[in-house]
Amino acid sequence: MLDTDELWRFVDQERASLADLLESLDPQEWQTRTRCGDWRVRDVAAHLTIAARFSGGQAVREMLRARGNWNRMIHDSAVREAGLPTAEIVANLRAIIGSRRLAPTTSPHEPLLDLLVHGQDIALALGRRRPVPPAAARDAAERVWTMRFPPRPWP
The SS3 assignment for 51 reads helix
DSSP 96-119: TTT-----TT--THHHHHHHHHHH
For the chain, give the mean pLDDT: 92
Residue spans per domain, the chain: 4-146
Q: 33: helix, coil or strand?
A: strand
Residue 64: pLDDT band (50, 70, 90) is confident
Confidence of residue 150 (pLDDT cuts 50, 70, 90): low
CA distance 77 to 79: 5
State what percent of residues in the chain have pLDDT above 90.
71
DSSP 61: H
Task: Give me the percent of the chain exceeding a pLDDT of 70.
Answer: 95
Distance CA 17, CA 12 (A): 9
For residue 46, give the nearest of 91, 10, 9 by alpha carbon.
91
How far is C-alpha 32 from the chain's CA centre? 17
Residue 53 buriedness (CB in 10 A; 0-12 / 13-18 / 19+): middle
149: confidence class by pLDDT, cuts 50, 70, 90: low
Residue 57: pLDDT over 90: no
What residue type is 10 in one-letter code? F
In tens, the pLDDT along 5-41 reads 999 999 999 999 999 999 999 999 999 999 999 999 9
Give the model's pLDDT for residue 31: 99
Q: At the top level of CATH, which class does the domain 4-146 belong to?
A: mainly alpha
